[in-house]
Amino acid sequence: MSGFWGSKIKLSIFGESHGEGIGITIDGLQPGFKIDFEKVQQEMDRRAPGRNSISTARKEGDKVTVMSGIFNGVTTGTPLCGIIRNEDKKSRDYSTQAVLMRPGHGDYPGYLKYNGFNDYRGGGHFSGRITAPLVFAGAIAKQMLLEKNIKVYSHIKSISNIYDDEIDLCCINEDKFENLKSKEMAVLNDETMIKMKNRILEVKEDCDSVGGVIECIITGVEGGIGDPFFDSVESTISHLVFSVPAVKGIEFGKGFDITKMTGSKANDQYYYDSDKVKTYTNNNGGITGGITNGMNIVFRVAIKPTPSIYKEQNTINIKEKKNDKLKIVGRHDPCIVQRAVPVIEAVAAIALYDLIKE
């Protein structure tokens, strides 16, 4: 079933957007590790809804109750289960979704897959709300990676056609990226952040939505991690990244732009820095042959515009089997990108922890 993922670390997610709660079971964590739950909650808060004018008005504390896997303050090595209660539900807003299929959502495919028995309220199990448990698991993975001096950062590279500052793929200012975690939007350039926020508010006023790109950087990764072909680093990260609702694309290093280069420009040429091997460029995003080469892992993710918009749209009525109109009500994000930043970091951390765990 699709609710399971992992090789050395195994995840199982559960719940629906308007059900009693959502959660995750994590199997394979190392025993004896003391989790800093204050830092875990900080990651949860970065993703949580209802924080500002550019997010949904739904307010959820996203406090995690740990049901198992912790004893005397440390991990036991047995499955760790965390549950998040849904507190701010307005299910009546979705009464029409029983028969009117929302364009861009999983309503119609879900209806087909589950023979009409799926919970459609707020998107049910298809909802972006189910990413909260992934952030919980990712926050734990981040702390375990930090023991190996591996850090995961990201920023909003673009919203619509507004772009943040370019970064050096070989070497980033880690202090600057750390500071992004406390900002309203994870954008390096403050003037650009204002432009992005204004753009989001513009489309919100127009009853519409907008998407963007998130750039993720993983530092401190040693060379030699991963395998060629089916278990490549790109394959493992991409599998989890595409598990995040609204993700429609991923590229590593220079990505599609590498196709515009010649081989002499695209190749990352090696050199010795003392006894450490480095490359002058990082066009391949720290991965060649499916295996890490010791440089920063860099990838970008395309996030589509939020499909729940307040403009009237064409759709179908599956009960009457006829064409119809739909005007969505309820509480929705005009842009999901800023809340997806910690989610992308989380799945990157989980994927990498699965790859390096002995």
Q: Which residue positions form the known binding site for NADP(+)?
A: 47
Closest C-alpha to 283, from 307, 299, 272:
299
Residue 168 has a CB neighbour count (10 Å cut-off) of 11
Q: Are 247 and 192 in contact (CB under 8 A)?
A: no
Residue 147 has a CB neighbour count (10 Å cut-off) of 9
Binding annotation: 47, 125-127, 289, 304-308, 331
Binding annotation for FMN: 125-127, 289, 304-308, 331
Q: What CA–CA distance (Å, rounded) separates 33 from 353?
A: 14
What separation in angstroms does the CA of 103 have from each of 50, 326, 330, 341, 356? 24, 9, 15, 24, 40
Q: What CA–CA distance (Å, rounded) separates 44 from 57?
A: 17
Cα within 13 Å of Cα(122), Cβ side: 24
Q: Are 298 and 253 in contact (CB under 8 A)?
A: yes
Q: What CA–CA distance (Å, rounded) separates 41 from 135?
A: 10
Greatest C-alpha distance within the chain: 72
Residue 62 in tokens: 């996203």
3-state secondary structure at position 276: strand
What separation in angstroms does the CA of 299 have from each of 44, 93, 114, 285? 22, 37, 34, 7
342: which residues sit within 8 A by CB, 6+ positions away? 43, 46, 47, 135, 138
Q: What CA–CA distance (Å, rounded) separates 306 from 56?
A: 11
